[in-house]
C-alpha cells in the first residue's frame, strides 16, 4: 500500500509540474499574441512589449539547428519584478536600462555603437579583431578589457568586471564559460544574428539590442533607413539588362569553399542583379567542391568576388597556378573584402557588413553594373591587387 501511495504522489507531482510548465508557456504565448512587435525580416528573435512596461525577448534561433529557445524578461528598474506574471516563465529577468555589459562578437559592435550604447561595454574577447575607431579608443584607454576567446571566456576577469549581462553567441549548447557565469548570477543573452540567411534579417538584430538600453525608437529609425536604402538599391539594380555570371570563394587545402545557394552571400548577388553560378544549390552555409568542378562551371565567369582572404593575384597564383584558367583573373575582375582592415588587422567586412547590408549591396552593384553608380566609392570591396 505504501508503494502505491508513493507512486500516486509521484504521479501527482509530475502532473502538477507539467501543468505548471504548460501554464508558463501559455503565459508567454498569450502575451506574444496580444502585443508582439513586428519583426519584418529576422527569424531568430521576437519582441513583445507588454502593457505594464516590461519587454519579453524570445530567441528562437540561438545557433544553427538549435532544439531549444531562450526567453528573457526586460523589466524597467522602477518596476517591482516580483509582480510581473511572467517572472517564473523566463530564463532570466533583466533590469533595464543596462549599465555595464560584455559583448562577444565583432558583429555586435556596430549596432551598439549606432545606438549610442558603447559606453557600457566593459569587456570583449579578442579585442585585436575590433576595428571600430570608437571601440578601439575605449580598448586603448583600458575601459574595454580583453577577455580571451569566446569559447573559453576569461571567467575570473569577467567576474571582476561585474557586468549586468553578457551578450553571447555560441555554436551549440555546450559552453562551460557561459554555464559558469550563469551559475554566478550573470545572465547570458544569446545573440543569433549570424544564423540569419537574409541581409536585412541580420541587420534587423539592432532591434534585439535596443530594449536593453531604452533605444527602441533609435533602432527603428536606424533600421528603417537601412531598409529603405537597401530596397532602393535593389530596385536600381533590377533595371539593368545585364546580369553578370558571378563566382566566389577559393581553395583551402584542395577544397574550394563557396556560399550555398540559400546563403546571405548568394542573396546579395541576386539582389545586385548578378547571376550566381551556384544559385540553385541547397544550404545556407558553404559548399565544398573540387577545383575541377569549379573550373568546369565557372572558368568563364564574368566576376569573381570574395576569393577567401587573398589580397593579390600573386598570392592566388602562388597558392595554385590553376587559378590562371579563370576569366576574371585574366580580365582583372576579382574583388575582395580582405584589403579593408582596421588598425589592428581586423577585417572591417566581418564586423560591419552584417549591420550595413545596404552598403554591401551598393558595392556589388558598382562592381556588377558600374554605369548605375558611376561615382560611388565602395566601402568594403576592392579590386584584387
Q: Are strands 255-259 and 250-252 parallel, antiparallel or unpaired?
A: antiparallel
The residue among 54, 70, 96 that closes a domain is 96
The residue among 96, 128, 145 that closes a domain is 96
Q: Residue 334 domain-assigned?
A: yes
Whether the per-residue pLDDT at 8 is higher than 70: the answer is no
Q: What is the pLDDT of residue 17?
A: 41
Q: Residue 123 domain-assigned?
A: no
Q: Residue 328 domain-assigned?
A: yes
Predicted confidence band at 358 (pLDDT cuts at 50, 70, 90)? Answer: very high
The average pLDDT across 186-193 equals 96
User: Are 272 and 368 within 8 A, CB to CB?
Assistant: yes
Predicted confidence band at 31 (pLDDT cuts at 50, 70, 90)? Answer: very low
Q: Residue 264 domain-assigned?
A: yes
Number of domains within the chain: 2
Residue 70 grid coordinates: 531562450
Q: Residue 344 domain-assigned?
A: yes
Predicted confidence band at 167 (pLDDT cuts at 50, 70, 90)? Answer: very high
Tens-place pLDDT, residues 134-161: 999 999 999 999 999 877 899 999 999 9
Q: DSSP H helical segments within 163-241, as ranges?
A: 176-183, 199-203, 206-209, 216-238
CB atoms within 10 A of CB 341: 14
Q: Residue 1 domain-assigned?
A: no
Tens-place pLDDT, residues 226-240: 999 999 999 999 999
Predicted confidence band at 246 (pLDDT cuts at 50, 70, 90)? Answer: very high
CATH (domain of 272) = 3.40.50.1980
Q: Residue 229 domain-assigned?
A: no
Q: Residue 169 domain-assigned?
A: no
Full residue range of the structural domain in which residue 317 is found: 236-383
Q: Please provide the DSSP assignment of 305-356 as one string.
A: E--TT--SHHHHHHH-GGGGGSHHHHTT-EEESTT-B-TTS-BHHHHHTTT-
The residue among 96, 119, 151 that closes a domain is 96
Q: What is the pLDDT of residue 111?
A: 97
Closest by Cα among 59, 95, 101 to 74: 95
User: Are 326 and 297 within 8 A, CB to CB?
Assistant: no
* pTM summary value: 0.89
Residue 86 grid coordinates: 511572467
Q: Give me the chain's average pLDDT, please.
A: 90
Whether the per-residue pLDDT at 33 is higher than 70: the answer is no
Q: What is the pLDDT of residue 29?
A: 46
CB atoms within 10 A of CB 318: 11
Q: What is the pLDDT of residue 174?
A: 83
Whether the per-residue pLDDT at 22 is higher than 80: the answer is no
Amino acid at each position: 500500500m505504501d508503494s502505491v501511495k508513493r507512486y500516486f504522489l509521484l504521479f501527482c507531482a509530475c502532473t502538477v509540474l507539467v501543468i505548471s510548465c504548460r501554464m508558463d508557456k501559455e503565459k508567454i504565448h498569450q502575451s506574444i499574441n496580444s502585443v508582439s512587435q513586428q519583426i519584418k525580416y529576422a527569424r531568430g528573435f521576437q519582441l513583445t512589449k507588454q502593457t505594464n512596461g516590461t519587454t519579453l525577448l524570445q530567441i528562437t534561433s540561438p545557433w544553427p539547428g538549435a532544439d531549444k529557445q531562450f526567453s528573457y524578461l526586460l523589466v524597467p528598474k522602477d518596476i517591482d519584478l516580483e509582480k510581473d506574471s511572467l517572472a517564473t516563465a523566463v530564463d532570466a529577468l533583466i533590469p533595464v536600462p543596462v549599465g555595464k555589459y560584455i559583448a562577444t562578437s565583432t558583429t555586435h559592435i556596430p549596432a551598439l555603437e549606432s545606438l549610442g550604447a558603447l559606453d557600457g561595454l566593459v569587456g570583449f574577447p579578442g579585442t585585436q579583431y575590433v576595428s571600430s575607431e570608437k571601440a578601439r579608443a575605449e580598448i586603448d584607454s583600458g575601459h574595454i578589457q580583453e577577455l580571451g576567446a569566446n569559447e573559453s571566456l576569461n571567467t575570473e576577469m569577467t567576474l571582476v568586471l561585474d557586468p549586468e549581462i553578457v551578450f553571447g553567441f555560441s555554436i551549440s549548447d555546450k559552453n562551460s564559460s557561459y554555464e559558469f557565469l550563469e551559475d554566478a548570477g550573470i545572465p547570458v543573452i544569446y545573440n543569433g544574428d549570424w544564423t540569419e540567411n537574409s541581409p536585412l534579417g541580420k541587420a534587423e538584430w539592432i532591434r534585439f539590442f535596443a530594449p536593453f538600453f531604452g533605444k527602441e525608437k533609435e533602432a527603428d529609425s536606424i533600421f528603417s533607413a537601412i531598409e529603405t536604402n537597401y530596397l532602393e538599391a535593389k530596385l536600381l539594380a533590377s533595371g539593368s539588362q545585364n546580369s553578370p555570371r558571378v563566382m566566389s570563394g577559393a581553395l583551402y587545402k584542395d577544397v574550394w569553399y563557396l556560399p550555398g545557394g540559400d546563403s546571405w552571400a548568394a542573396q546579395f548577388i541576386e539582389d545586385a542583379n548578378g547571376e550566381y553560378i551556384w544559385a540553385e544549390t541547397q544550404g545556407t552555409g558553404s559548399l565544398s567542391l573540387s577545383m575541377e568542378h569549379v573550373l568546369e562551371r565557372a572558368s568563364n565567369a564574368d566576376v569573381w568576388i570574395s576569393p577567401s582572404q587573398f589580397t593579390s593575384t600573386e598570392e592566388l597564383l602562388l597558392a595554385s597556378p590553376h587559378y590562371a584558367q579563370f576569366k576574371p583573373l585574366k580580365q582583372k575582375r576579382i574583388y575582395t573584402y580582405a584589403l579593408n582592415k582596421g588598425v589592428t588587422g581586423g577585417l572591417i567586412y566581418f564586423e560591419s557588413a552584417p549591420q550595413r547590408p545596404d552598403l554591401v549591396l551598393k558595392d556589388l552593384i558598382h562592381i556588377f553594373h558600374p554605369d548605375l553608380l558611376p561615382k560611388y566609392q565602395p566601402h568594403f570591396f576592392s579590386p584584387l591587387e
